[in-house]
């Protein structure tokens, strides 16, 4: 999928995905939990991406498939993916971020997917880490 396609999806899912809370000012040592919810009841995968300041690419942190989380090896120490997307009710998952330093200051994106593929993404919330 090209970057252009991704941009289109970003715009589309703005209407249907809700993420909260909106932004954070954190300090190293803090833990932040972001929720992502949507009403696409047949979408059983939720993916989480990180876009660091000054970068255009979104990096995959990991994803939840039904209730089974997979976190990329390099992110295992700082991120947890939690949720249960089973059943036919609305979906609600979350990303827990252990803030250890400025490298967690980024924009986080949540994406919903029907199956094991990238489908849609929506801009999440900006996390600014407070440098000590
Ligand atoms: C999901 O549906 C409920 C009511 O049916 C609505 O209140 C809520 O805003 C919807 N959520 C999203 C993310 O569209
Ligand atoms: C998602 O779940 C959390 C707790 O697990 C809850 O606080 C939050 O309100 C839920 N969000 C929605 C939109 O249902």
Q: Where in the chain are the domains? A: 3-129
Please tell me the number of the ligand nearest to residue 122's CA: 1
| CB atoms closer than 10 angstroms to residue 115 | 10
User: In whole angstroms, how far apart are CA 62 and each of 15, 19, 25, 79, 81?
Assistant: 23, 17, 23, 9, 7
Q: Which of 72, 38, 92, 20 is nearest to 82 (CA)?
A: 92
Q: What is the pLDDT of residue 123?
A: 39
- Condensed to tens digits (0 to 9), the pLDDT of residues 91-112 reads 999 999 888 877 888 888 888 8
Region of 5 please: left (phi>0), alpha (psi -120 to 50) or beta: alpha
Measured in whole angstroms, how far is the alpha carbon of residue 17 from the centre of its chain?
11
Contacts (Cβ under 8 Å, ≥6 apart) of 75:
61, 62
Atom of ligand 1 nearest to the CA of 37: 13
Q: What is the pLDDT of residue 2?
A: 42
56 CA → ligand 1 middle, Å: 30
Measured in whole angstroms, how far is the alpha carbon of residue 120 from the centre of its chain?
11
| This prediction's pTM | 0.75
37 CA → ligand 1 middle, Å: 9
Its sign, for the CA torsion 61, 92, 124, 121, is: positive
Average pLDDT over residues 21-28: 71
Average pLDDT over residues 34-63: 86
To test ligand 2's pocket by mutation, which of 22, 64, 82, 92 has the most ligand atoms within 8 angstroms of CB?
Answer: 92
Higher per-residue pLDDT: 100 or 67: 67
Q: What is the pLDDT of residue 77?
A: 94
Q: For residue 99, what are its two tokens?
A: 């803030």
**Mean pLDDT in the chain?**
74
CATH H-level superfamily of 3-129? Immunoglobulins (2.60.40.10)
């Amino acid at each position: 999928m090209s970057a252009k396609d991704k941009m289109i999806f970003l715009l589309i899912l703005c209407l249907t995905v809700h993420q909260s809370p909106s932004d954070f000012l954190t300090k190293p040592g803090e833990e932040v939990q972001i929720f992502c919810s949507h009403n696409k009841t047949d979408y059983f995968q939720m993916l989480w991406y990180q876009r660091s300041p000054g970068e255009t690419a979104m990096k995959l942190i990991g994803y939840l498939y039904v209730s089974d989380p997979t976190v990329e090896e390099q992110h295992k120490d700082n991120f947890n993916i939690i949720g249960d997307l089973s059943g036919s009710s609305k979906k609600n998952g979350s990303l827990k971020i252990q803030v250890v330093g400025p490298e967690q200051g980024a924009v986080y994106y949540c994406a919903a997917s029907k199956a094991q593929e990238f489908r849609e993404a929506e801009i999440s919330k900006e996390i600014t880490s407070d440098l000590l």
